[in-house]
Structure 1
Amino acid sequence: MKSFKKYLIGIGVLLTLVFVGSYAYNQVGYKLAISDVEKIAYQNAGVTKSKVVSQTLMKSREGLLATYKIRFETESKRFVYTINASTGSIIDRRYKVK
């Protein structure tokens, strides 16, 4: 009975560590607000928020590097940016004329 309790406690501790580690991995490194990411991408693309007709923004990881991936469209172009979530530097940018 004692070994079964130790086993259950060990499993509980292991699950807690996995949960906390997963949470930390997915949250650590995101220092910029979403509005900051939008501003960086829009300024680099040379568009204003009023010209954007659709947008998606998601958290992403490139290895251990926390990033935001922002996709947006204007009437004439589609843009995709990958932005470092800590520094705001642009890692990748692409656009396509519609």
Structure 2
Amino acid sequence: GGIIQPWAAYTIVGAIVLSGLLNVVYYGPILINGWFGGKEERPAHAHGHDEHHEPAKEKVKLTEPSWVMVSPMMALAISTLVLGIYIKYPLKLVASVVKIYFKV
């Protein structure tokens, strides 16, 4: 044995795989519609969903997001890319934390 029993390791890996699959199911349509939607204008959404309500006739113009929305996403994307390329430095940090907390 080790710290983690083999059956527990398989359970953990299964939970991670299931989590990844659920993320694809949840976020896949959002990403596909966001990247490949292609419509510049769409009708405004009326809140009544009954059959006797008419949908709204006015159009809503879609615009580019402001820098307040884009800058956090860009910072996250750039930091992920840089840390992925220079993986040695984050791994050294993780190894030192493991040594400190687990006395390995």
Measured against the shorter chain, the TM-score band is 0.3 to 0.5
Task: Report the structure, 1 or 2, having the larger helix content.
Answer: 2
Q: TM-score, normalised by structure 2?
A: 0.33
Highest RCO, 1 vs 2 (Cα 8 Å, sep ≥ 6):
1
Q: TM-score, normalised by structure 1?
A: 0.35
Task: Report the structure, 1 or 2, having the larger strand content.
Answer: 1
